[in-house]
Structure 1
Amino acid sequence: MDISVEALTPDRWPDIEALLSEGAVTRRCWCTYWRIGPRYRQQEPSANKSDLKRVVAAGPPPGILAYVEDQPVGWCQVGSRELLPYMEHAWRLRSPDNLAVWTISCFYIRKDFRRRGISSHLINAAIDLAKRSGAHAIEAYPIDRSTSPSSSSTGFVTTFERFGFLHIPSPSRERPIMRLYLNGA
């Protein structure tokens, strides 16, 4: 299976629109939660979709898309943590230091492509993008399957461990903070 990964730029809007329209949660959230917090539940899904479209149009790309045979099959929101202001409101995800980091905040993989390595391709591409952008580190906030039955839209600890992400001090055992240092940081 040939998998390619591309940045979500305005010309790829139809691809993210098609992909996120498939999922029950994604078609409501439109990957806006970490930008606007609980307000995403209070406004209509169409408003969340419009918010994401504005973010894509304004740039920089808010994430990356995975493709199989030119079909969008996966999404990863990735970028500078400062572009996701609501992360500082989530006590479980508060960074223990002031290092300017990039963050992998969520994934969506089409149901028929899950458990086929799509998220690993997205993580690898996210790391490369963060390096090229001069980031000192990239963080993720995955689920530890041994302690939480929660949603896996943030990935799993074991997947990030395979890429060399390390556990850093976190206020929550169920929601670890994992970090990969880049560019000699």
Structure 2
Amino acid sequence: MPSLAGMTTGLRIEPAGVGRFDDVVTMLNPRGRPQACWCLHWRQPRGSSVDGRRDHLRDLSGRTPAPGLLAFLPDPERGEGEAVVGWVGLAPVSASTSLQHSRVLPRVDPAEWSTTWAVMCFVVRPGYRRRGIARALLAASVDYARDHGAHAVQGFPVEPEPGRRVPVGAAFVGTVGLFESVGFDRVGDTSATSGRLPRWVLRRELVS
């Protein structure tokens, strides 16, 4: 794995599993909106109600593998406590209905759905950005996917315009540079965009 030297001191990452759903809510719907994405765009069952997304993600959080990973940092206001500061959503393609049938992202051979994982989205809380948290989450995602039988991990990040920062609204899919920094290779383009920026297929093989 690429070196993670220089990461934020005290950063801890763990699966968004049983007992962590309140932290998932903090990351994905901190304002309590009646309808939110809940990082389910790619894996929401067909025909499911948008209103049921929270309950569906809660159900996924009680299963193995977890639907994502959470990042924590020491919270000075809590003494020895921690604050949740980051989220990455990931899943095998076998659990990602939209990826199986996407018209804008390359489709994976059905025979590889269970062993090819997809990194779906990143969320880092304001005040904690540009501190290496997304990179640490991505590196941990590779390890988590490998531990659960993945042969490859893919992402579909944006290509920033030269000399310009990626708008926050487009950065939730990650950037090409972020994925490359964790050992992913650019393997192809897509017809998808985020914030009008082109998205590419970045892939990391986990078996030779």
Band of TM-score, shorter chain: 0.7 to 0.9
Counterparts of 1:89 and 1:96, CA distance in 2: 9
Q: Which amino acid aligns with 1:138?
A: V
Matches within 5 A, 1:9-88: 9-22=17-30, 28-36=36-44, 43-44=50-51, 47-69=52-74, 70-88=82-100
TM-score where L is the length of structure 1: 0.85
Query: Where in structure 2 are there 5+ consecutive unaligned residues?
Result: 1-8, 75-81, 193-197
- How far does residue 121 in structure 1 lie from its aligned partner after superposition? 0.6
Q: Distance in 2 between matches of 1:5 and 1:39?
A: 33
Q: Report the alpha carbon displacement of residue 106 of structure 1 after superposing the two structures with TM.
A: 0.7
Q: CA 1:164/1:23 → structure 2, altered by over 3 Å: closer, same or farther? A: farther
SS at match of 1:177: strand
Secondary structure (helix, strand or coil) at the match of 2:118 reads strand
Residue 158 of structure 2, aligned match among 143, 154, 158: 143
CA gap of 1:24–1:166, structure 2 versus 1, over 3 A, is farther
Q: Residues 124 and 155 of structure 1: is their aligned pair in 2 closer, same or farther, counting only changes over 3 Å?
A: same
**Aligned runs of 1:142-181 on 2, under 5 Å?**
142-146=157-161, 151-172=170-191, 174-181=198-205
In our comparison, the structure showing a higher alpha carbon Rg is 2
Distance, in Å, in 1 between the alignment partners of 2:47 and 2:183 is: 34
Deviations 1:28-74 (A, max 9, x none): 1111111127978x633xx2111111111233211100001121100
Distance 1:17 1:162, change over 3 A: same
- Report the alpha carbon displacement of residue 122 of structure 1 after superposing the two structures with TM: 0.1
Return the TM-score normalized by structure 2.
0.77
Question: How many residues were matched structurally?
Answer: 180
Matches within 5 A, 1:103-142: 103-142=118-157
Greater percentage in helix: 1
Are the structure 2 counterparts of residues 89 and 24 from structure 1 closer, same or farther at C-alpha, using a change threshold of 3 Å?
A: farther
RMSD of the alignment, in Å?
2.5
Q: Say which is worse superposed, 149-158 or 2-11, in terms of deviation.
A: 149-158
SS of residue paired to 1:66: strand
CA contact (8 A) 1:137 1:180 kept: yes
In the aligned structure 2, how far is the partner of 1:29 from the partner of 1:118? 21
Deviation track 1:134-180 (CA, whole Å, cap 9, x = no partner) reads: 31110011011129866111100011111121112333371111100
